[in-house]
């Protein structure tokens, strides 16, 4: 059963007599080592590796490219512009196949191939190949290059709108840009694009660009509408917290499954994060939160100095929470990033309780704080360090 705690026991700075009750609970999946993979791999003798799965819905990229290709049919004779656009809109994800090493994946997925500079190289490469094939049909290299780059930028845009983070300025900066307004798989957006793309395939040549342009317009407008909803939700929750007398430093609305109708609220409150679901049309939201302890920054920094993967993971993560237990005199820590915790009941059923959260990192420390063993659980759940 979740443990109830009074407000002062949950987060530093909370008032002793809040004007509204605050039902805070420990994270529902208590970390006891025997509920996860019992064997943590040695920090010096890592276990077998597995390739990680891609972290973005490829169907949306493919359909977006197809729609863009239909939108420009009048400027490129023949049908080949559509598969060209599909390829250009997908090709930044070629970095999924570069390496199965999880640390390399965290560092470089959505890195150079997803940047403005790297996109120029990819667009030039694709344009050169197709220009050599289609130049006799009037496909000019300059026009083809500009369109290819536009499709690459469309891919970058689709990755930017969720909360994973994209290194758009690589290789000059490792800053991870994220709008955080669309969930990583959005049936409403993808479904609408599919319908408009299907209509473009059925329509006659004069109307194909109309449906293609409409799909691209939806693709650009939908995330911005979601961002407006996200901002409104954040303001509403902040006002509710003020009314309840709950001290906090910041409020973030992160897209959950079926956003923009459902959002995950992450409140920074002292040494804890408070997390709750928000349904836009429910009308009955109350500040009843799960409490997640934030780790000691100095300890996490020290682990990063001892093992580089911890430093990489810390750079990658945003809302870091930690669970802890003790076994055989050793501390066992489970670090997780609340961005990848879904509060939607359907999404939670997809992951059994005995599975660790996606993108989580386990560590075992001896009584002196030395790192003995560690294990990483990537997006494929249970992925292990090479």
* 148 in any annotated domain: yes
> What single-letter DSSP state applies at residue 174?
-
CB 100 within 8 A of CB 50: yes
Distance between start and end Cα atoms, the chain: 37
* 233 in any annotated domain: no
Q: Count the domains in the chain.
A: 1
Res 308 pLDDT > 90: yes
* 172 in any annotated domain: yes
* 178 in any annotated domain: yes
Domain that holds residue 105: 58-226
CB 7 within 8 A of CB 30: no
Tokens of 156: 């970058």
* 32 in any annotated domain: no
CA 344, CA 253: separation in Å to the nearest integer? 14
> 325-380, pLDDT tens digit by residue?
998 999 999 999 999 988 888 777 776 666 788 899 999 999 999 999 999 988 75
- pLDDT for the residue numbered 381: 36
Q: Are strands 25-26 and 250-255 parallel, antiparallel or unpaired?
A: unpaired
* 52 in any annotated domain: no
Q: Is the model more confident about 257 or about 34?
A: 257
- pLDDT for the residue numbered 352: 63
Q: Whole-structure pTM over 0.85, yes or no?
A: no
CA distance readout (Å), 226 to 147, 220, 261? 27, 11, 9
Q: Virtual CA dihedral for 68, 73, 77, 83, nearest 10 degrees? A: 30
DSSP 336-386: EEGGG----HHHHHTS-TTSPPTTEEEEEE-TT--EEEEEEE-TTSS----
> 216-255, pLDDT tens digit by residue?
999 999 999 999 999 999 999 999 899 888 899 999 999 9
* 294 in any annotated domain: no
- pLDDT for the residue numbered 283: 67
CA 299, CA 369: separation in Å to the nearest integer? 9
* 87 in any annotated domain: yes
């Amino acid at each position: 059963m979740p443990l109830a705690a009074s407000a002062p026991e949950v987060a530093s700075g909370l008032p002793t007599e809040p004007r509204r009750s605050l039902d805070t609970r420990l994270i529902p999946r208590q970390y006891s080592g025997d509920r996860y993979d019992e064997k943590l791999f040695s920090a010096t003798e890592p276990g077998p590796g597995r390739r990680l799965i891609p972290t973005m819905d490829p169907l949306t990229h493919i359909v977006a490219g197809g729609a863009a290709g239909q939108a420009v049919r009048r400027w490129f004779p023949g049908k080949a512009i559509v598969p060209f656009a599909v390829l250009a809109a997908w090709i930044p994800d070629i970095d999924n196949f570069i390496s199965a090493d999880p640390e390399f994946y965290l560092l470089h997925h959505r890195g150079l191939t997803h940047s403005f500079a790297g996109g120029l190289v990819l667009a030039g490469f694709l344009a050169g190949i197709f220009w050599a094939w289609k130049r006799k049909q009037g496909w000019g290299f300059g026009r083809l290059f500009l369109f290819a780059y536009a499709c690459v930028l469309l891919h970058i845009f689709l990755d930017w709108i969720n909360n994973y983070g994209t290194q758009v300025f690589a290789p000059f900066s490792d800053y991870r840009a994220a709008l955080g307004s669309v969930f990583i798989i959005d049936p409403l957006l993808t479904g609408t694009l599919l319908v408009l793309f299907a209509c473009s395939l059925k329509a006659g040549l004069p109307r194909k660009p109309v449906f293609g342009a409409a799909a691209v317009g939806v693709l650009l407008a939908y995330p911005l509408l979601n961002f407006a909803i996200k901002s409104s939700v954040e303001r509403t929750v902040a006002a509710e917290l003020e009314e309840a007398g709950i001290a906090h430093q910041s409020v973030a609305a992160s897209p959950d499954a079926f956003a923009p109708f459902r959002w995950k609220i992450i409140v920074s409150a002292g040494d804890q994060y408070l997390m709750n679901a928000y349904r836009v049309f429910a009308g009955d939201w109350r500040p009843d939160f799960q409490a997640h302890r934030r780790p000691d920054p100095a300890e996490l920094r020290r682990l990063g100095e001892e093992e580089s993967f911890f430093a990489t993971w810390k750079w990658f993560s945003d809302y870091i929470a930690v669970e802890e237990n003790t076994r055989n005199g050793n501390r066992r820590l489970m670090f997780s990033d609340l961005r990848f915790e879904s509060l939607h009941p359907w999404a939670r059923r997809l992951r059994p309780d005995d599975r660790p959260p996606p993108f989580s990192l386990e560590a075992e420390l001896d009584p002196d704080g030395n790192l003995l063993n560690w294990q990483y659980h990537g997006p494929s759940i249970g992925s292990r360090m090479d």
